[in-house]
Structure 1
Amino acid sequence: MALPESSSKRRQSIPGAEEPQTTEERDERGLGSLQRKFAAQMATPQLNYKVLLGVTVCLTGLGLVMVLSSSMVTSYASGASVFSEFIKQAVVVFIGLIVMWFALRMRPQTIRKYSPWLLVIAVGMLLAVLIPGVGVGADEVGSNSWIRIGPIGVQPSEVAKMALAVWGAATVSYRARVTQRLNTGLGAFIAVSAVILILVMAQKDLGMMFSVGIVVAALMFFAGVDRKVFFALLAVVGLFGAFAITQASFRGARITTWKDALTLNFGETTTQGAAYQSHQGILSLSDGGLFGAGLGQSRAKWFYLPEAKNDFIFAIVGEELGMFGAVFVVILFGMLGWFGIRTAMAQADPFLRLLAATLTIGISVQAFFNMGYVVGLLPVTGIQLPLISAGGSSAIITLLSMGLLCNCARNEPETVSSMQHEGRPLIDRILLLPEPQGYKAGEQRRTQRRETAYSYGTPVTRPQPGGSRGSQDVRRERDRVEESIRRVGGESRLRGYDGVRRQNLPPTATPKPIPRSRQRADDAGQRRARKTRRTIDDRHRRR
């Protein structure tokens, strides 16, 4: 009696059966499947928009928590409640979120239209801060770069940085499209940028001058400036910055402090002087370890670390949340930079492309520069960590910039098509955001040409006074009126050539009657044609 074959032998005996896969082949197939799934997920419409919104919400929420934790001691020491600084920051963030909502609702055409007015406001604020008695901050931060409006301080250079990005993107994209010459398109932008940089330098604020310079360099780079010209301009700005550093002793001390922090070789005298803040920041980060001391358990905020809620708040993040918390913040800003550049590359509108790239670089580079000098890799410049540090105008302007960046992501061609066919996402319906409109290439030029008055001569359809170019209804009405005037014995109102021609024409001759023989011949021809047509129809019916 034959034993039944095993299942494995039966599979091998089936013709055309596949050979069993090795472990390496299965791993390669699994890795390829994961790569394909990841690529398909990254190509999903609306991904850039949702990620940028999520990153903004995460950074804003984390910033509020860290401001509360780092400011409790100083708020209580000033005689107020431990929540006073947090409440002030929460109000500022709420205002910034409202401004961000308005930025999300605006059409790209509206943003482009009002960009010159935004620049005028920014330049006016930069001039106002230089007026004695208006600009404040020299006693606190060493530069007259603030305007106090009640309890909130406004920094005009923050407004100027964002206004320069919006107006520069609108101007460069339009002029380059019209003239097809980049040097002509960048002329006005370079001139205005130079004026703004000079005004910021007059405030003795080298950190904000660096932030504005980042925006200028980013816009010129993404506009397509020749690399030689671009690096030559960077070299000139670098030399100018080095000259500005040598003109102030405290700026020269920052370079020495940076060298000590980079090598972790602090002297006993510097740790109590110029390098005190950098030294305490590195100690705060080292105390955090891998998992952190716990939220609210920082020791550096007990008057060891100056500016714990502002410039060095990243040190408090590392101390309380540990290396995992610090790396999480770095990843969030890295995602902001990556998806912001993806948004710029996905744009069809040159204005939105330049705007998205410039805003992304401006926010991301400022964030990484702040974290870089907290850990000792870069010299201290006094710029804040966007969306996390405590600040009035900085938080509002950064949220407005993120609203504009998310607006650019909403107006990607694939995102617009997805929202029009599949509907708006849930967050858009909650925020009552309108459906974005698709971009049409050349729409701006066509609109301007329609609004511009061009003269090509007198239109042929325009009625001429007193001439025969009027319509038939007009001529009939005029003839009827003239006939009525003649009947009552009045004077004719016909003037000019047309009237003379009509009066001097001979009466129309009476048409001659058709001969009867010709009429009979026509009738006979018609009868023959009808008879022939009936004969042909009868033949077709028989068939």
Structure 2
Amino acid sequence: MTPKTKELRLTFWMIFTAFLLLFIIGTVNIFSSTFIEDMAEGGSAYGHLIRHVLCFVIGMIPATIVYRSDYRLWKKIAWLAVIFSALLLVAVLGAGIVVNGAKRWLGVGGFTFQPSEVAKLAVILFTAKYLAPLLEKHKPIAFFGPWDSSPQAPAWKRFHWLPQPVLLPALVLAGLVIKQPDAGTAIVIMFLPFAMLWISGASLKQAVIPLGVFLVAAAAYTLSAPYRMDRLRAWYDPSSYAQTLGYQTMQGFIAIGSGGIMGQGIGEGISKFSYLPEAHTDFAFAILAQEWGLRGSIVMLVLFCILIFFGFQCAWNTHDKFGELLAAGITLYFGGQGLINLAMVCGLFPVVGVPLPFISYGGTSLIVNLIAAALLLNIARRNYKTAVMAARLRMQPHVQSMKKETRSHFQLH
């Protein structure tokens, strides 16, 4: 086995191990943070755990199909994924289920489904499909610029601040998600293609003015509703709103701080006893830090770092541009959401409702995470197999030469 094949095999198993351990930690944390709530409602202590495991079983069906198939097939259906996501998001606006003032879910046979989670994966697929041929042909990559710079083109196509076509699906999907409203998911949907464009070679300097316009528009959107301004004030100074809008943030601080180095013990954290809202979803990390302590938090952070490092390692070792961009996009998907969630729970970012992959409870999120993980593992496995085949081909002339020498030796003697 060559050093290259050893490296690629290590990449595959490190990604697999990180996913597996994150899922196990998340499953334990979900049970620990929900059994009290389930018992208080008069049901089984295993209610949320059973639904979590059921979603895992359901998610493993498409994940297994994705893992065993050629990831390049997704290139052909990237557009369909975007259209399907848009239709689902439109359906949510029309017939969605309202929870806590937000309409984000569709109800199907007693189960709820969150289409915005699917939209995240759809924009990764579309961005990889769009950018791959540009990189293969060594064409320039940019965030904004004219769609057609020829003098014969219409004036609007020669406008220098037009967002590139690759950004349009993300803008549409993010706009539909904002209507729910769900600013956190909209941020993730826009972050993914921007980050993929940047790692593909787009210059941030070229996007300064358009991004400035975008930030002004975002500020205007925030100022247009008093409750959004109140949320910003509560984020900036949560202690002054400790009993109202800053309550969740302050309780998150208390949960994290009370864990200490060793933690209070799995199942022993007190914040889940009706103190910390959304303890098993958006603020799942706070319960983990309280019960597992600093040591458990570091283990989880190390696993995410391993996933990010070897995810990009997988992307760098992929020979086709679509696979390279797809692996990078999926790595950004897990790393970006993880960073936003941790920053939110630690008070570095406003509370925007972005889940922590595999740690936060959520059926649709888990299913999409499993599919994304299967795609990344598929690419890593194919990289390894390609390297093994290449090594065997290089060895064939040497093997044939040795066989000839052996036959000659026996013929002479």
- TM-score clears 0.5: yes
Deviation digits for residues 497-536 of structure 1 (CA, Å, limit 9, x no counterpart) = xxxxxxxxxxxxxxxxxxxxxxxxxxxxxxxxxxxxxxxx
1:355 to 326, 332, 343: 326
Deviation digits for residues 253-310 of structure 1 (CA, Å, limit 9, x no counterpart) = 222222225xxxx13xx11111111111111111111101111001011101110110
Would the alpha carbon gap of residues 311 and 415 (structure 1) be closer, same or farther in structure 2, given more than 3 Å must change?
same
Partner residue, 2:170: 193
Distance between the aligned counterparts of 1:179 and 1:342, measured in 2?
A: 22
Deviation at 1:230, TM superposition (A): 3.7
Partner residue, 1:213: 190
The answer to whether structure 1 residue 83 and structure 2 residue 46 are counterparts is yes
TM-score by length of 1: 0.65
Distance between the aligned counterparts of 2:80 and 2:62, measured in 1?
A: 17
The answer to whether structure 1 residue 409 and structure 2 residue 380 are counterparts is yes
* Aligned length in residues: 372
The answer to whether structure 1 residue 135 and structure 2 residue 96 are counterparts is yes
Distance between the aligned counterparts of 1:409 and 1:239, measured in 2?
A: 41
2:121 to 137, 156, 162: 162
Deviation at 1:350, TM superposition (A): 0.7
Deviation at 1:62, TM superposition (A): 0.9
Amino acid corresponding to residue 338 of structure 1 in structure 2 = F
Deviation at 1:242, TM superposition (A): 2.2
Structure 2 counterparts to residues 415-426 of structure 1, below 5 A: 415-418=385-388
Moved over 4 A (4+): 40-43, 183-186, 419-422
Partner residue, 1:147: 106
Amino acid corresponding to residue 211 of structure 1 in structure 2 = V
Partner residue, 1:367: 338
Distance between the aligned counterparts of 1:336 and 1:312, measured in 2?
A: 21
2:356 to 371, 382, 385: 385
Deviation at 1:65, TM superposition (A): 0.7
TM-score by length of 2: 0.84
- Coordinate RMSD, CA, aligned: 2.2
Deviation at 1:317, TM superposition (A): 0.3
1:116 to 52, 76, 79: 79
Deviation digits for residues 82-101 of structure 1 (CA, Å, limit 9, x no counterpart) = 10111001111122223222
Q: Percent identity, aligned pairs only?
A: 29
Amino acid corresponding to residue 143 of structure 1 in structure 2 = A
Distance between the aligned counterparts of 2:90 and 2:256, measured in 1?
A: 40
The answer to whether structure 1 residue 94 and structure 2 residue 64 are counterparts is no
Partner residue, 2:133: 174
Aligned partners of 1:157 and 1:200 also within 8 Å: yes
Distance between the aligned counterparts of 1:176 and 1:41, measured in 2?
A: 24
Distance between the aligned counterparts of 2:194 and 2:56, measured in 1?
A: 29
Would the alpha carbon gap of residues 284 and 103 (structure 1) be closer, same or farther in structure 2, given more than 3 Å must change?
same
Distance between the aligned counterparts of 1:234 and 1:102, measured in 2?
A: 39
Deviation at 1:176, TM superposition (A): 5.0
Unaligned runs of 5+ in 2: 149-162, 393-413
Partner SS state of residue 265, structure 2: coil
Would the alpha carbon gap of residues 69 and 210 (structure 1) be closer, same or farther in structure 2, given more than 3 Å must change?
same
Distance between the aligned counterparts of 1:100 and 1:87, measured in 2?
A: 20
Partner residue, 1:313: 284
Aligned partners of 1:45 and 1:418 also within 8 Å: no
Deviation at 1:410, TM superposition (A): 1.9
Distance between the aligned counterparts of 1:208 and 1:410, measured in 2?
A: 30
Partner SS state of residue 115, structure 1: helix
The answer to whether structure 1 residue 280 and structure 2 residue 251 are counterparts is yes
Distance between the aligned counterparts of 1:252 and 1:297, measured in 2?
A: 36
Distance between the aligned counterparts of 2:22 and 2:302, measured in 1?
A: 11
Deviation at 1:398, TM superposition (A): 1.2
Structure 2 counterparts to residues 493-512 of structure 1, below 5 A: none
Would the alpha carbon gap of residues 98 and 293 (structure 1) be closer, same or farther in structure 2, given more than 3 Å must change?
same
Deviation at 1:190, TM superposition (A): 2.1
- With 225-234 and 358-367 compared, the bigger mean Cα shift is at 225-234
Aligned partners of 2:97 and 2:103 also within 8 Å: yes
Aligned partners of 1:337 and 1:364 also within 8 Å: yes
Structure 2 counterparts to residues 427-442 of structure 1, below 5 A: none
Partner SS state of residue 107, structure 2: strand
Distance between the aligned counterparts of 1:42 and 1:379, measured in 2?
A: 44
1:51 to 2, 5, 14: 14
Higher relative contact order (CA 8 A, sep 6+): 2
1:226 to 200, 203, 206: 203
Would the alpha carbon gap of residues 232 and 176 (structure 1) be closer, same or farther in structure 2, given more than 3 Å must change?
farther
Unaligned runs of 5+ in 1: 1-39, 423-543
